[in-house]
Amino acid sequence: MRDHVQAHAPLEACGLLAGKNYRVEKVLLIENQAKSRVKFRMDPKGQLQAFNWIDSNGLSLVGIFHSHPAGPETVSATDIEEAAYDVIQIIWSRTKGNWIAHGFWIENKHVSEVKLEIINIEQP
Ligand SMILES: [Zn+2]
């Protein structure tokens, strides 16, 4: 995710997170059709392909991520307004060249921060 948001800065970048039980197993990168520094709109074709991939691999959508290359670290009013799925929203923001990710849960326009954990999965 970080490489993807870095590669697209100063434009916003976005993607979907697939997995099970709030655990991400696959990051699906999607082009930001808006090509904007302050907003994103997922490319519909890329989004459809991603949803098909998630379905055919028996996973669920667990999160959506996008970047705020110029801040803020939190979800914007637009992000809250446009939150369409009951999934974790991850915002990548950049401060002094360093990217940081914050997770949020948006329900009925109410935002709460959720803790993100990085888990290394050992392959047998
Ligand atoms: Zn945003």
Question: Which residues are known catalytic residues?
Answer: 12
**What spacing in Å lies between the alpha carbon of 28 and ligand 1's midpoint?**
18
Mean pLDDT of 85-100: 93
Distance CA 87, CA 64 (A): 7
Three-class SS of residue 44? Answer: helix
Q: 124 C-alpha to center of ligand 1: Å?
A: 38
Task: Read off the pTM.
Answer: 0.92
Q: pLDDT tens digit string along 36-72?
A: 999 999 999 999 999 999 999 999 999 999 999 998 9
Count of helices and strands (H, E) across the chain = 3, 6
CA 57 to ligand 1 centroid distance, Å? 28
Q: What is d(CA 4, CA 24) in angstroms, rounded to the nearest whole number?
A: 16
> Residue 123 above 70 pLDDT?
no
Q: Rg of the chain's alpha carbons, rounded to an integer?
A: 14
CA distance 26 to 64: 12
Alpha-carbon span 34 to 122, nearest angstrom: 37
Cα 53 to chain center, whole Å?
A: 17
